[in-house]
Chains A and B, each alone.
Chain A
Amino acid sequence: MNAKQIDQQTLLKDEKDPLTHTPVHLLSLDGVGKHYGNIIALRDVTMAVDNGRVTCVLGDNGAGKSTLIKIIAGLHQHDEGVLHIMGTERKFSSPRDALDAGIATVYQDLAVVPLMPIWRNFFLGSELTTGWGPFKSMDVQKMKDITLAELAAMGIDLRDVEQPIGQLSGGERQCVAIARAVYFGAKVLILDEPTAALGVKQSGVVLRYILQARDRGLGVIFITHNPHHAFPVGDRFLLLKRGKSIGYYDKKDVTLEELTAQMAGGAELAELAHELAELGGHSDVVQEVQAEVAEVAEVAGVSSQRQG
Chain B
Amino acid sequence: MASTTTLPPAPASKSGSRSDERMGRRSPFQKLLGRPEVGALVGAVVLFIFFSLVSSTFLTPSAFSTVLYGSSTIGIMAVGVALLMIGGEFDLSAGVAVISSALTASLFSWYFSTNIWVGVVLALGVSLGIGFINGYILIKTKLPSFIVTLATFLMLTGLNLALTRAVGGSVSSPSIATMDGFASARAIFASSINIAGIEFKNTIFIWIILVAVASWILLRTKVGNWIFAVGGDANAARAVGVPVTKTKIGLFMAVGFCGWILGMHNLFAFDAVQSGEGVGNEFLYIIAAVIGGCLLTGGYGSAVGGAIGAFIFGMANKGIVYAQWNPDWFKFFLGLMLLLATIVNLIVKRRAELK
Q: Are A155 and B221 in contact (CB under 8 A)?
A: no
Asked whether A136 is an interface residue with its Cβ less than 8 Å from the other chain, the reply is yes
**Is A12 in the interface zone, CB < 8 Å from B?**
no
Tell me, rounded to whole Å, the shortest Cβ–Cβ distance linking B182 to chain A.
Answer: 31
Chain B positions 1 through 39: 1 when the CB is less than 8 Å from some CB of chain A, otherwise 0:
011111100100000001010110000000000000000
Cβ-neighbour of A157 out of B2, B7, B237 (below 8 A):
B7
Instruction: Name the one of B4, B20, B239, B353 contacting A105, with C-beta atoms under 8 angstroms.
Output: B239
Cβ distance A177 to chain B, nearest Cβ, rounded Å: 9
CB neighbors of B among A92-119 (8 A): 94-96, 99, 105, 107, 109-116
Query: By the criterion CB–CB under 8 Å, are A169 and B355 in contact?
Result: yes
- Contact A138:B225 (CB < 8 A) given known A110-B236, A113-B236, A160-B23: yes
A157 touches B216 (CB 8 A): no
* Given known contacts A124-B237, A125-B241, A164 and B228 CB-to-CB distance under 8 angstroms: no
Q: What A residues does B4 contact at CB under 8 A?
A: 155, 204-205, 208
Using Cβ atoms and an 8 Å threshold, which residues of chain B touch A73? 239
Say yes or no: A137 contacts B236, CB within 8 Å.
no
Name A186-227 residues within 8 Å CB distance of B: 201-202, 204-205, 208, 212
Q: Which single residue of chain B is at the shortest CB-CB distance from A140?
A: B220
Count B interface residues, CB 8 Å: 38
**Complexed CA–CA distance, A32 and B161 (Å):** 57
Tell whether B180 is near chain A: CB-to-CB under 8 Å. no
Complex Cα spacing A105 to B240, Å: 8
CA of A124 to CA of B232, assembled, Å: 12
Complex Cα spacing A114 to B295, Å = 14
Q: Are A205 and B6 within 8 A (Cβ)?
A: yes
**At the interface, yes or no: B199 with Cβ under 8 Å from chain A?**
no
Closest chain B CB from A4 CB (angstroms): 33
A137-B221, A138-B220 as given contacts; A159 in contact with B22, CB under 8 Å: yes
**Chain B residues near A201 (CB-CB < 8 A):** 6
| Contact between chains at A115 and B349 (CB < 8 Å) | yes
Q: Is the CB of B243 within 8 A of A172?
A: no
Bound-state Cα–Cα, A53 to B301, Å:
44
Let me know if A154 is at the binding interface, CB within 8 A: yes
Residues of A within 8 A of B229 (CB): 113, 116, 120, 124-125
Residues of B within 8 A of A110 (CB): 236
Name B225's contact: one of A115, A127, A156 (CB within 8 Å). A127
Does A39 sit at the interface, judged by CB under 8 A?
Answer: no
Q: Is the CB of A202 within 8 A of B6?
A: yes
Count of residues in A whose CB is under 8 Å from the partner chain: 48
**Is there an interface contact between B222 and A167, defined as CB atoms closer than 8 Å?**
no
A113 to B228, CA, bound (A): 8
Q: How far is the CA of A138 from the CA of B353 in the complex (A)?
A: 26
- Asked if B300 is at the interface of the complex by the 8 Å CB criterion, the answer is yes
Task: Please tell me if A238 contacts chain B, counting CB pairs below 8 Å.
Answer: no
| Cβ-defined contact, A120 with B228, below 8 A | yes
User: Complex Cα distance A50/B237, Å?
Assistant: 28
Set of chain A residues within 8 Å of B98, measured between Cβ atoms: none
Find the A residue at minimum CB distance from B242: A125
Q: Are A127 and B222 in contact (CB under 8 A)?
A: yes
As a 0/1 sequence over residues 154 to 190 of chain B, the CB contacts with chain A under 8 angstroms (1 = contact) are 0000000000000000000000000000000000000
Q: Which residue of B lies closest to A148 (CB)?
A: B18
Question: Considering the complex, which residues of chain B in the window 204-253 have a beta carbon less than 8 Å from any beta carbon of chain A?
Answer: 216, 220-222, 224-226, 228-229, 232-233, 235-243
Residues on B with C-beta less than 8 A from A75 are 238-239
Interface centre among A124, A167, A201 (most CB of B within 10 A): A124
Knowing A127-B222, A137-B220 touch, does A112 contact B5 (C-beta < 8 A)? Answer: no
Contact mask A123-155 → B, CB, 8 Å, 1/0?
Answer: 111110100000011101000000010000111
Q: Does B299 contact A (CB under 8 A)?
A: yes
Indicate whether B352 reaches chain A with its CB closer than 8 angstroms: yes
CB neighbors of A among B44-64 (8 A): none
> In the docked arrangement, what's the CA distance between A99 and B22, Å?
36
CB <8 Å contact, B233 and A166: no
A127 CB contacts on chain B under 8 angstroms: 222, 225
Assess the B221–A123 pair: CB atoms within 8 A.
no
Residues of B near A154 (CB, < 8 A) are 3
Query: In whole angstroms, how far apart are the Cα atoms of A112 and B228 in the complex?
Result: 12
Q: Point out the residues of chain B lying under 8 angstroms from A208, CB to CB.
A: 2-4
15 pairs of residues in contact across A and B, judged by CB atoms under 8 Å: A75-B239, A95-B241, A96-B241, A113-B237, A115-B349, A124-B240, A124-B242, A125-B241, A125-B242, A137-B220, A138-B225, A155-B5, A156-B6, A175-B6, A212-B2
Give 20 new A-B contacts, CB below 8 A, not counting A115-B299, A208-B2: A73-B239, A95-B239, A99-B240, A107-B239, A111-B235, A111-B236, A120-B229, A123-B225, A125-B226, A125-B229, A125-B241, A125-B242, A126-B241, A137-B216, A138-B224, A138-B225, A154-B3, A169-B6, A172-B6, A204-B4
Which residues on B are within 8 Å of A, measured CB to CB? 2-7, 10, 18, 20, 22-23, 216, 220-222, 224-226, 228-229, 232-233, 235-243, 295, 299-300, 349, 352-353, 355
Query: When A and B form their complex, which 5 residue pairs have the shortest distance between CB atoms, in order from nearest?
Result: A155-B3, A125-B241, A113-B232, A127-B222, A125-B240
